[in-house]
Structure 1
Amino acid sequence: MRYRSEDIHPVLWTAVDELTGRMMTGQASGKAVMAHHSEWTKEYGGEFLRQMAAPLLLMAAGFAMIAAKLPKPISAIVMLLGILWTVVTLIVKTAGNFRQMSVRELEVLLPELKFEGVGRAYAETVLAVGQASLSEEMRSETLQELKRVMDEHERIESARERLSTGARDRPELLEEVIRLKGKMESAKDAEARALFRESLDVAQTRLDSTEHQAAFGERLEAQAELLRQSVLRVRDTLSLPSVDTSTDGGALRQALASVRSRAEAVEKAVQEVQSW
């Protein structure tokens, strides 16, 4: 089985691209690089060589014609055709595999991917899907549900990032409230005291807002953890030898229902934050 572009969430493809870049610059472990090269060769090498045989033979024929001192225009045309064919083959082959990945490739790359939390659980579960005996329909359904999980996870992280801005401002606001309260209490002039009181009320309102944001942030963190646990439940279900996933058994469908329910809950939670 090969994962196609539409099977995997872009966040995983991005992580794979980042890892590939680290491999090319020598920043990944040599063991991982060698293992990936070996798996890539097994998966695509034979097919690649078969497709490259004809254009390379044509180029060799061009060299042979030049060595035999045959007419240069004909030799040049043969050489040019061989080169063009080679380039086109390389482009087509690269484009065809650019967003494909075998199960074994993912297994080799997974330990090196910079993932944690829901993202790590997602990658491990995608691998479990590829290793399980599932019908094509069930495999596709499971991968699409998992992609939705990552969509909701990204929404959670985006919302939490916005809320964290308020949390960072809380210490300064608390100092503001304390300072204004002192100013109000020490003011001798009644009008000045009233103005400081008004400023204090505004600062307190801002502080209360950050408290609400912190509560929403905790709620989203809890939702993210539930989402992760639901994804891991799917992974564990796929890994159980006692579950006959080839018949699309109830255990897997129950696990997917749990994931679907959690994704819907996350969507509602994020909408609540956005409407606040």
Structure 2
Amino acid sequence: MTRRSVLLALGGASLLAACGNDTTQWHAGGELPGDSHSGEASADPTPSVIPSVAPPTPGHCPAIPGAGTPRRGGPQYYLPCKDTQIALTVDDGPDPQYTPRMLALLAKHDIRATFCMIGRAAAAHPDLVKQVVAAGHHVANHTYTHPLDLTKQSAAQIRAELHRATDAISTASGGHQPTLFRAPGGAWSSAVLSECGTLGMRPLDWSVDPRDWSRPGVQHIVDTILTRTRPGAIILEHDGGGDRDQTLSALTIALPRLLDAGYTFAQP
């Protein structure tokens, strides 16, 4: 069992009980120090087998530890369970090649997502930021430069990463102020959470991670999404940071199947 699996099994409440300890760190995400967003090229065949989707049961929410009830100030791993609701989050953009394709795919299925944007990418592509906002998607702060481990930064560096990203997103979008923050790699610490709170943002994590940034193959991404999604799930995908053809191909398969199974997409 991976460390992230252990943390999720313990649930949000037990994980976040140590928020007041300045030395506590959490590496709950799929990207850890040393990971690279570019990934290695891998075989990318059309999935030969598409797994079935466990449909949501009306009037029933699975017993997920900490689902939708994170300790005050701590990261959110799940939506509050409302029978059929799940969320899609899209990280590391905007990207001129992949963000427009992601927007077109989401528009086709009338899905609203949350785009966790890197500040310097938002500053470089303000028109894309405006398009994301105009389409009804949320834009979250994902730091300015995407350091691999924010918890190893000084308090001043953490503050600069968050503040600069918010300023860049606000300027690019024409005034949109992020209300959500996602730490790169899910690397949380009390200092990161404190600065997040100072800016009036809620910390957002995830519960379904196909590690699409590493380009593991369309089959792997589709399998992970369709077999692990349950009511309340927050799915992690990417539209920036490298070649995202596999991500888009996988979502083209997975999203309509989730909708056909009865899931509805909400925003955290």
| TM, length-normalised to structure 2 | 0.22
Bigger helix share: 1
- Larger Rg: 1 or 2? 1
Higher relative contact order, chain-length normalized (CA < 8 Å, sep 6+): 2
Which of the two has greater strand per residue?
Answer: 2
